[in-house]
Amino acid sequence: MDALHNLMMGFSVIFTPQNLWFCFIGSVVGTLVGVLPGIGPLAALALLLPVTFKLAPVAGLGMLTAIFYGAMYGGSTTSILVNIPGEAASVVTAIDGHEMAKQGRAGAALGMAAIASFVAGTLALLAVTFCSPVLTAFALRFGPPENFGLMLFGLVCTLYMINGSKLKGVLMLAVGFLAATVGMDVVNGRDRFTLGNINLAGGIEILSVVIGLYGVAEILVNCETITKNHLLAERIRGLWPTLADWRASWLPMIRGSFVGFFFGMVPGGGPVTASFMSYALERRMAKDPSRFGKGAIEGVAGPEAANNAAVSGSMIPLMSLGIPGNAVTALLLGALVIQGIQPGPMFITQRPDLFWGVMASMYVGNVFLLLLNLPLAGLWAQCLRIPYRVLFPMILLLSIVGTYSANKNVFDLWVMLGFGVVGYVLRKLQYDFSPFLIAFVLAPILEQSLRQSLVMSPDGILIFAQRPLATGFVIASVVLAILVFRQRKSLQPQGDIS
C-alpha cells in the first residue's frame, strides 16, 4: 500500500502544467529521435542535457527519460514502414514488421508495436513501483563502506556490458576513472593532472565529455556521407490489430515484458539486448518458427514489448542504487549529478518526490506516446524526409551552447572539441564509450567512500570485513571480476562491435 501511496504522491508532483509539458516535449523529441536515423537517443540526451539546467529536477529528468523510451516507440515506426531502424533496439522489429508492411499490413504492425510498447511499459512500471520499497529498506543500511562496495560492484558489472573487445573496454574504464581524478583532491587540496591549468582545478566538466563523445563524434560520423531523403508514398490503414493478431500477440507481449524488464535491470542489458533476446525466445517457442522473418506479428509484439520494458527495468539500479546499467542510464546519472543530486542507495529515501515523480512521469509519458504514435504513425514516417542538413546546424549549435552554458567558460568548448575528435577516432577503432562514462561518474563516489570508510575505521581496511553488506559487495565484485577474466576467449580482443 505504501507503494501506491507513494505513486499517488508522484502523480501529484507530475500533474503540474510545467511538468506535463516537459514530459510531452520529451515524448515528441524521443519519437523524433527514434524515427530519424541520423541521431540516436544517446546523442539526443547528451545534447539536451543542458536544457534541464534551469528546469525543476522532476521536469528535467522526466523529459530526459521520456526521450529515452520515446525513441523506442519512434524507432519501430520507420523500422516497419521503410526498413530503416531509427535506433538500434528497433533493428529486430524491422525483420517481421517490414515484411508485414510489404504484405499491406503496415497498420496492424504499427498498431501492435505501439500497443505492445504501451502494455510492456505499464507492466514494467508497475513492477518498479512494487520493487522500490524493498530496495528502500535495503538502502537504509548503507554507510561509506557499503557505498564503496556498491560502487566497486557497479564498476565490475560494467565489464559485462562492454561491446566488442573486453580489453578495449577495460582500458576505457581506466581512462574514465583517470579523467574523473583530474582536478583538486578534495581531501588534501592537492592538484592532480591539471597541468598547471586553472580551468582544470575543478575537474573536467561532465557536459563537455558527454557532448563531445556522443554529440560531436556523432556529427563527425554523420558528416562523412550526405544522407538521402526517404519518401513514404503509401497511406497507412487499419491500425487496430485483428482478433487473430491479438491471439497471436498477447503472450509474446507478456513474455517480452518480462524479458525486457530482466535485461533492463542487469548490467550490460538494456533495450537492444532485450529486443533480440525476446525475438529469439518467440522464435524458439513458436509452433511454426519458419513464419518468422516472413511477417509474423509475434516478431513485432515481443521485441517491442521487450525494448520498452527494458527502459523501465534499467531505471531500477539507477534510481535505487545509483548504478547505471548502460550508457543511457549513465547519462541520466550524469543529469542527476548536474542537478546537484547525489545518486546512490539513499536517493529514494532522501528525494521521494523526485523518484516517484519521475516514475509517475513515465506512466504519463507512455500514454502520451500511445496517443502520439498510433494515429500519427504516417506523419512520423514523413519525418524521414527531413534532410540531415536541416538538423546539422541545430545539432552543432546545441552542442556548443549546451557545453558553454554549464560554466560560461570557453575552455569547456575546447575540452568538448577534444573529446569529440578523440571520440570519433575511437569510434572508428571500435571502442565502447559506456565504460568510460560510467567510470567517470562513479569514480569520485568510490574514491570518497573508500577514504571516508578508512577515516571512520579504527581497524583500517578491516572495516570491509566487519560490515556484512560491504563484505558481500566486495566479495561479489572480486568473484565477478575473476569470472570475466576467466573467460579468456571473450577477453581476447575482437574486431567488431555487436
Minimum separation from the CB atom of position 317 to other proteins (A): 23
Distance, CA of 82 to CA of 67 (rounded, Å): 22
- CB of 179 vs other proteins, minimal distance in Å: 9
Binding piece for other proteins, criterion CB under 8 A, among 7-15, 50-58, 326-334, 346-354:
50-58
- Does 397 contact other proteins by CB under 8 A? yes
Listed ranges 179-187, 270-278, 325-333, 375-383: which one lies at the site for other proteins (CB under 8 A): 179-187
Q: Is 138 in the site for other proteins (CB under 8 A)?
A: no
3-class secondary structure, 416: helix
* Residue 22 near other proteins by CB under 8 A: no
What is the total count of residues that contact other proteins (CB under 8 A)?
A: 66
Q: How many residues can be counted in the chain? A: 498
Residues forming beta bridges with residue 183, ordered by sequence position: 192
Of the candidate spans 36-44, 66-74, 218-226, 361-369, the one that interacts with other proteins by CB under 8 A turns out to be 218-226
Give ∠ CA 69-27-224 in degrees, rounded to 5.
Answer: 75
Q: Which of residues 223-242 bind other proteins (CB under 8 A)?
A: 223-226
**CB closer to other proteins, 175 vs 476:** 175
Nearest distance in Å: CB 30, other proteins: 17
Contacts of other proteins in 192-211 (CB under 8 A): 192-193
Instruction: Please report whether residue 338 would count as binding other proteins according to CB under 8 A.
Output: no
The three cell numbers of residue 34 are: 527514434
Please, what is the minimum distance in Å from the beta carbon of residue 388 to other proteins?
8
Contact mark string toward other proteins, 443..472, x via CB under 8 A: x---x--xx--xx----xx-----------
Strand ranges, E, within 215-357: none
Interacting positions 401-440 with other proteins (CB under 8 A):
401, 404-405, 408, 410, 413-414, 417, 420-421, 424-426, 428-430
Q: How far apart are CA 410 and CA 475, in angstroms?
A: 45
**In the complex, minimum distance from the CB of residue 51 to other proteins, in angstroms, rounded to a whole number:** 6
* Site for other proteins, rule CB under 8 A: 50-51, 53-55, 165, 167-168, 170-171, 173-175, 177-178, 181, 185, 187-188, 190, 192-193, 216, 219-220, 223-226, 388-390, 392-394, 396-398, 400-401, 404-405, 408, 410, 413-414, 417, 420-421, 424-426, 428-430, 443, 447, 450-451, 454-455, 460-461, 492-493, 495
